């Protein structure tokens, strides 16, 4: 893919990079973006960014990756052009003077001023010689040299002269400085990526600079920060899952007789109830049983699915959750209304009886579940099993699973491993999948697709 050349080359390369980063861009949307460029001022970079975003970005979750790639393919400047808005004497100024200048920018500045200063600081502090003729660029060395996070106290003293500390004025200043600090950090990171792209190629840095969108992050590789963001995705998914699993009344089935409406209508026929009216059938909330593998190999997946369990309490008549490694314990008690989800996870790890020897054993866990909690499964129950189906070469207890599935209204299995890895090593995916329909569920996108198939 060409890195330089015509605007068409840039456009094609940018759209290709978006697709590789997990941002879905159709051919029609790419053409829409190309047509949008015909009606905007191409020298106005922010207008170009807005035109691309309006035509190519369909969800807010895709915007951060889009902005990173846009800055790489359509940079604000290139090396060798002096930032006109940075004082020339700052190039040789002491770090103390640079910090004072940055403090002024954090108090109030335009994007152009902050970006120009960031570029100058990357030029001065961000370069490290790797080998003869080669150089590397780093953001952390710029931030370490200037330590902008330590400027707040001085800024508050300067700005709040004559104002009471701790009041609205201080809160306003803190918010403005923190927002500008974030802009400065982003500007430094953007310029570092631009310089690396000039040295190593846009496509190479693009592949490592953009994390997958939140809804495409693999559950088995999710970080604590990702989990915090995923919590916001849980409640909408829980509502949709509940709606799909709700026991639907047969088509044409009526609710109870609406006596009041029927009698009111009979007044038109001399008190003879020629037309009967019925109340709409009341939707029935189902019961849900979740059986979740909590072993270390799928701990991130278990964490997210237990967050989902926490949210599902409000959507079902009854939710019972069970966790297992090589034996099983009911963990519903950790997710009572009003409890803190993080505290619930901590208590779950410390107090639940899910481990005998520490090695995952699906067969023994299923047998123990059938012995201790057989009453949890009934004709109104939806059974949801969550795990990778890897049982350390232990007997699978398929007959037990078959019995549980036959007694439930619905049974589904969500597996966080990629399908090509099913049935490798100690995986019993196909054996279990022959009893309970098994779905690959590695990220929020696949979980959403599974929920949609239940319709």
pLDDT tens, position by position, 274-307:
788 877 766 555 688 999 998 877 777 777 777 7
- Give the list of residues 6+ apart from residue 149 with CB closer than 8 angstroms, or none: 181
C-alpha pair distances (Å), 315 with each of 243, 251, 413:
8, 23, 20
What is the pTM assigned to this prediction?
0.63
Give ∠ CA 223-224-226 in degrees, rounded to 5.
Answer: 65
The pLDDT value recorded for residue 81 is: 44
The pLDDT value recorded for residue 438 is: 95
**Average pLDDT for 347-353:** 81
The pLDDT value recorded for residue 248 is: 47
- Give the list of residues 6+ apart from residue 17 with CB closer than 8 angstroms, or none: 69, 72, 73, 202, 203, 206
**Average pLDDT for 374-382:** 89
Per-residue confidence band for 133, with pLDDT thresholds at 50, 70 and 90: low
The pLDDT value recorded for residue 45 is: 83
Give ∠ CA 142-143-145 in degrees, rounded to 5.
Answer: 65
The CA distance from 136 to 126, in Å, is: 8
First to last CA, the chain: 42
pLDDT tens, position by position, 30-72:
899 989 988 888 888 888 999 999 999 988 878 888 888 888 8
- Six-digit token string for 29: 């949307």
List beta partners, residue 427. 390
**Average pLDDT for 408-430:** 92
The answer to whether 335 and 366 are in contact (CB under 8 A) is no
Max avg pLDDT among 98-107, 166-175, 189-198: 98-107
Question: What is the distance of C-alpha 84 from the center of its chain?
Answer: 40
Q: Of 343 and 387, which is predicted with more confidence? A: 387
Q: Of 122 and 199, which is predicted with more confidence? A: 122
The pLDDT value recorded for residue 334 is: 83
Is the pLDDT confidence value at 196 over 90? no
C-alpha pair distances (Å), 241 with each of 18, 69, 236, 377:
30, 34, 9, 19
Phi, psi angles (nearest 5°) of residue 182:
-65, -40
The pLDDT value recorded for residue 390 is: 92
Give ∠ CA 383-389-394 in degrees, rounded to 5.
Answer: 115
Q: Which residue has the tokens 């159709």?
A: 26
Secondary structure E strands in 63-152: 127-131, 134-137
- Six-digit token string for 418: 């990629």
SS3 323: strand
- Poorest-confidence range of 37-46, 72-81, 143-152, 433-442? 72-81
Q: How deeply is 401 buried, as exposed, middle or buried, from its count of CB atoms within 10 A (0-12, 13-18, 19+)?
A: buried
C-alpha pair distances (Å), 372 with each of 291, 330, 368, 376:
13, 10, 6, 9
Is the pLDDT confidence value at 146 over 60? yes
Is the pLDDT confidence value at 184 over 70? yes
**Average pLDDT for 17-23:** 84
The CA distance from 42 to 49, in Å, is: 10
DSSP structural state of residue 235: H
DSSP structural state of residue 281: P
The CA distance from 412 to 113, in Å, is: 56
The pLDDT value recorded for residue 395 is: 92
Give percent above pLDDT 90 in the chain: 19
The pLDDT value recorded for residue 454 is: 67
Phi, psi angles (nearest 5°) of residue 307:
-60, -40
Is the pLDDT confidence value at 250 over 90? no
- Six-digit token string for 220: 């088995």
The CA distance from 6 to 3, in Å, is: 9
Q: Of 201 and 277, which is predicted with more confidence? A: 277
Per-residue confidence band for 252, with pLDDT thresholds at 50, 70 and 90: very low
| Total H helices, total E strands in the chain | 18, 8
Is the pLDDT confidence value at 134 over 70? no
Average pLDDT of every residue of the chain: 80
The pLDDT value recorded for residue 397 is: 93
The CA distance from 151 to 161, in Å, is: 16
- Give the list of residues 6+ apart from residue 32 with CB closer than 8 angstroms, or none: 55
The pLDDT value recorded for residue 370 is: 94
The pLDDT value recorded for residue 398 is: 95
- Poorest-confidence range of 29-38, 75-84, 140-149? 75-84
Is the pLDDT confidence value at 251 over 50? no
DSSP structural state of residue 427: B
Is the pLDDT confidence value at 1 over 80? no
SS3 418: coil
Per-residue confidence band for 253, with pLDDT thresholds at 50, 70 and 90: low
Is the pLDDT confidence value at 427 over 90? yes
Per-residue confidence band for 73, with pLDDT thresholds at 50, 70 and 90: confident
- Give the list of residues 6+ apart from residue 43 with CB closer than 8 angstroms, or none: none
SS3 259: helix
């Amino acid at each position: 893919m060409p890195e330089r050349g015509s605007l068409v080359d840039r456009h094609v390369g940018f759209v290709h990079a978006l697709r590789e980063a997990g941002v879905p861009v159709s051919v029609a949307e790419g053409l829409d973006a190309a047509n949008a460029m015909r009606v905007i001022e191409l020298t106005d970079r922010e207008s170009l960014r807005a035109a691309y975003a309006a035509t190519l970005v369909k969800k807010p979750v895709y915007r951060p990756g889009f902005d990173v790639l846009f800055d790489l393919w359509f940079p604000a400047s290139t090396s060798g052009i002096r930032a006109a808005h940075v004082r020339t004497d700052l190039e040789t100024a002491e770090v103390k003077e640079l910090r004072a200048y940055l403090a002024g920018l954090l108090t109030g500045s335009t994007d152009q001023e902050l970006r120009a200063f960031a570029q100058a600081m990357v030029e001065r502090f961000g370069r490290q010689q790797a080998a003869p003729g080669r150089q590397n660029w780093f953001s952390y060395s710029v931030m370490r040299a200037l330590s902008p996070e330590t400027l707040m106290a001085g800024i508050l003293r300067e700005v709040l002269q004559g104002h009471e500390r701790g009041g609205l004025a201080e809160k306003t200043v803190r918010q403005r400085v923190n927002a500008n600090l974030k802009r400065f950090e982003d500007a430094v990171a953007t310029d570092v990526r631009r310089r690396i792209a000039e040295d190593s190629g846009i496509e190479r840095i693009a592949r490592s600079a953009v994390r997958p969108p939140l809804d495409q992050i693999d559950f088995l590789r999710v970080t604590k920060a990702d989990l915090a963001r995923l919590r916001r995705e849980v409640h909408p998914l829980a509502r949709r899952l509940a709606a799909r699993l709700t026991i639907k009344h047969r088509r044409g089935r009526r609710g109870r007789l609406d006596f009041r409406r029927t009698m009111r209508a009979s007044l038109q026929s001399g008190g003879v109830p020629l037309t009967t009216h019925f109340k709409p059938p009341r939707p029935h909330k189902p019961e849900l049983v979740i059986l979740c593998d909590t072993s270390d190999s799928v701990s991130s997946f278990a964490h997210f699915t237990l967050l989902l369990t926490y949210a599902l309490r409000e959507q079902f008549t009854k939710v019972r959750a069970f966790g297992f490694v090589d034996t099983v314990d009911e963990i519903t008690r950790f997710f009572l209304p009003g409890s803190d989800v993080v505290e619930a996870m901590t208590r779950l790890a410390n107090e639940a009886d899910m481990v005998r020897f520490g090695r995952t054993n699906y067969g023994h866990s299923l047998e123990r579940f059938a012995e201790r909690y057989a009453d949890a499964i009934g004709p109104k129950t939806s059974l949801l099993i969550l795990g990778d189906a890897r049982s350390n070469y232990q007997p699978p207890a398929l007959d037990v699973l078959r019995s549980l599935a036959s007694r439930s209204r619905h049974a589904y299995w969500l597996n966080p491993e990629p399908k090509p890895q099913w049935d490798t090593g100690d995986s019993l995916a196909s054996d279990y999948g022959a009893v309970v329909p098994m779905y690959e569920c590695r990220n929020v996108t696949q979980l959403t697709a599974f929920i949609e198939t239940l319709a």
